[in-house]
Amino acid sequence: AAGVIQSPRHLIKEKRETATLKCYPIPRHDTVYWYQQGPGQDPQFLISFYEKMQSDKGSIPDRFSAQQFSDYHSELNMSSLELGDSALYFCASTFLGAGNTIYFGEGSWLTVV
């Protein structure tokens, strides 16, 4: 079965640079979530989209932005990168509905040096 696809899997950026992460949800899923997981931490919710509209916002820095496109893929744009942005970034997708399972991608490792 198709899973959530994230790219790139690893990237290294310098401070103050910009990074873009891409997420391709499971086909026909209408909702996408982005999470950030620091070392030894639980995943922290950043932002979500339903049918290409932002549906919820969490602890996403103002330096970050995201959007969902017409083909339902999503991109997380991160600017003015800081050392503290080094983390594993997850994308997840589901059908709208509280009882539906949310499926996660393998994550994108961002290292800021």
Bridge partners of 74?
23, 68
Q: In the set 82, 100, 111, 113, which binds another protein (CB under 8 A)?
A: 100
99 near another protein, rule: CB under 8 A: yes
Cβ-in-10-Å burial (0-12, 13-18, 19+) of 7 comes to: middle
Is residue 72 a contact point for another protein (CB under 8 A)?
no
The reply on whether position 30 binds another protein by CB under 8 A is no
Q: Does 96 bind another protein (CB under 8 A)?
A: yes
CB atoms within 10 A of CB 105: 22
Of 15, 17, 22, the closest CA to residue 90 belongs to 22
SS3 23: strand
Smallest separation, CB 45 to another protein (Å): 5
Q: What is d(CA 33, CA 11) in angstroms, rounded to the nearest whole number? A: 20
CB atoms within 10 A of CB 62: 7
Only one of the segments 11-19, 20-28, 52-60, 63-71 lies at the binding site for another protein (rule: CB under 8 A); that segment is: 52-60
Among 27, 28, 42, 83, binds another protein (CB under 8 A): 42
102 belongs to the binding site for another protein (CB under 8 A): yes
- Which positions touch another protein (CB under 8 A)? 4, 31, 33, 42-43, 45, 48, 55-56, 58, 90, 92, 94, 96-107, 109
